[in-house]
Amino acid sequence: MSSLEIKNLHVSIGAKEIIKGLTLTIGAGEVHALMGPNGTGKSTLSKAIAGHPDYTVTQGDVLLDGKSILKMEPDERARAGIFLAFQYPSEIPGVSIANFIRSAVQAKLGEGEELDASGYYKRLYEKMDLLKIDRKFTSRAVNDGFSGGEKKRCEILQMAMLAPKFALMDETDSGLDIDALRIVSEGVNQLRGPGLGILLITHYQRLLDYIVPDKVHVMWDGRIVREGDKSLALELEAKGYDWVKKEFATA
């Protein structure tokens, strides 16, 4: 069984400590929601796990299936099964989605392994059918002039094709209207299963109406201050984050 264990993690950007001792374990196939006010370190956590070079881990560990990934380069972490979906995906004009994902899938293969083109397209179309994505979509340039919903759809297709063990989805709901939110949620729910664990980072409770998490963690000032099941998200929606801040200050 796969697991992603974050143990007493401390992360700094330059001289500033952003993550201040965070512990969280995601089991195989579990969906965990990470919520919290803006500026609390949610994106920093996901980038540090993915291996972004600007983020320095000063203490603690991140274990994938019991093995530390902290010394691995970002591409090795991806090959080991970590996928990061960005809050603000980049546009890559001139590169089609089909070719972009193909390079990513090729890069994930071991040395000397060649991607079989017909097999690749077969799988791509299977995943697109599963996610109800139009075939025309793959010939468009990556994120070039895409709506918020289309960018997220492109990311979910990448995720489906790369088949990670754990996906870190940073504010997948930001900038989405209700219809797009539903499309993205349906995609995530389609991919959800024993082989894919998800850390779903979200500021709002709304996404969790569509993707029901196994566990909810509330982050504040670089730490997890509350944990619970999906009812915690509802409580937060009703009371706002001030309540967490106050409770944490007196704890």
Q: Could you list the residues that contact ligand ADP (CB under 6 A)?
A: 13, 18, 36, 38-44, 54
Contact of 45 with 89, CB cutoff 8 Å: no
Contacts of 96 (CB under 8 A, 6+ apart): 138, 139, 140, 141, 142
| Least distance CB 166 / Mg ion (angstroms) | 18
**Smallest distance, Å, CB 31 to Mg ion?**
18
158 binds Mg ion (CB under 5 A): no
* Number of residues near Mg ion (by CB under 5 A): 2
Residue 43 lies near Mg ion (rule: CB under 5 A) = yes
Distance CA 2, CA 22 (A): 20
Rounded least distance, CB 109 to Mg ion, Å: 31
Please list, residue by residue across 239-250, b when 16 or more beta carbons sit within 10 angstroms of its beta carbon and e when fewer do: eebeebeeeeee
> Which listed option, ligand ADP, Mg ion, none, makes contact with residue 39 (CB within 5 to 8 Å by class)?
ligand ADP
Q: Which is nearer to ligand ADP, 2 or 44 (CB)?
A: 44
Q: Are 233 and 173 contacting, i.e. CB atoms less than 8 angstroms apart?
A: no
Residue with tokens 């998490």: 213
End-to-end CA, the chain: 35
Q: Which residue is nearest to Mg ion (CB)?
A: 43
* Residue 41 touches which of ligand ADP, Mg ion, none (Cβ within 5-8 Å per kind): ligand ADP
5 vs 173 by CB, closer to Mg ion: 173
| Interaction site with Mg ion (CB under 5 A) | 42-43
